[in-house]
Amino acid sequence: MLSDACRSLRDAVRDVPDFPRPGIIFKDITPILCDGKLFRIAIDLFLERCRAMEIDKIVCIDARGFLFGSTVAYELGIGLVPIRKKGKLPYKTERAAYTLEYGEAEMEMHIDSIYRGERIALIDDLLATGGTSASAATLIDLFGGVLVEAQFLIELEFLNGRQKLEPASVVSFLKF
Ligand code: AMP
């Protein structure tokens, strides 16, 4: 059963067919972002999870993951680590390749962002095939971080992306 809060969020997600490519139904979260009440509900869902586990840092994924991850990190008073598409981060990086629902790419993280043993929550807007977040998990692991939980506002369950993150704990609030 969906809570009323989750139902109102779910209802606000806008399907945009054939974006950015024919055949893809893009889940547009901007109606959530531009409604202060809904945005707060979404942030509170992440916060509730993170407060229940001792998290040292939030790792979030370029670009919509930043919108949620940064607010959660601010509220918890903990560090934020951006994982970005290749070529965007200015300092020394490590890189992990991944396949997207609509393409292929590489993600990068600064080499001095995560220290051994740090407890990490990974945050992104949407879990599709899982390639993006699996590359983030690889980068977290490379530096000895402990991926405590991967958290997503939306999960496209039919793509089975959570399999790629196993055995990490995966939580999503809106399932399609
Ligand atoms: P994936 O690596 O396939 O799990 O893709 C997840 C990433 O791509 C997330 O950062 C999403 O923002 C974006 N993404 C993939 N598919 C969609 C979709 N159908 N609608 C919106 N965003 C998507």
**Which domain does 105 fall in, by range?**
54-175
Tell whether 18 is covered by a domain.
no
DSSP string computed for 125-151: EEESSSHHHHHHHHHHHHTT-EEEEEE
First-to-last alpha carbon distance for the chain, in angstroms, is 14
Q: Residue with the nearest Cα to atom 9 of ligand 1?
A: 126
- The Cα-based distances of 33 to 24, 42, 65, 126, 160 in angstroms read 22, 9, 12, 14, 26
Q: Which residues are catalytic?
A: 64, 101
- Whole-number Å distance, alpha carbon 152 to ligand 1 midpoint, is 11
Residue 108 falls within a domain, yes or no? yes
Say what the pLDDT of residue 3 is: 87
Q: Is the pLDDT of residue 167 over 70?
A: yes
Main-chain phi, psi angles of 2, to 5 degrees: -85, 140
Q: Which two tokens stand for residue 50?
A: 């993170």
What distance in angstroms lies between residue 37's CA and the mean position of ligand 1's atoms?
24
Task: Domain count for the chain, please give it.
Answer: 1
Among 62, 102, 132, which is best to mutate for testing ligand 1, by the most ligand atoms less than 8 A from CB? 132
Confidence at residue 104, expressed as pLDDT on a 0 to 100 scale: 80
Note the pLDDT tens digit of each residue in 72-128: 999 999 999 999 999 999 999 999 998 775 568 899 999 999 999 999 999 999 999
**CATH code for the domain in which residue 97 is found:** 3.40.50.2020
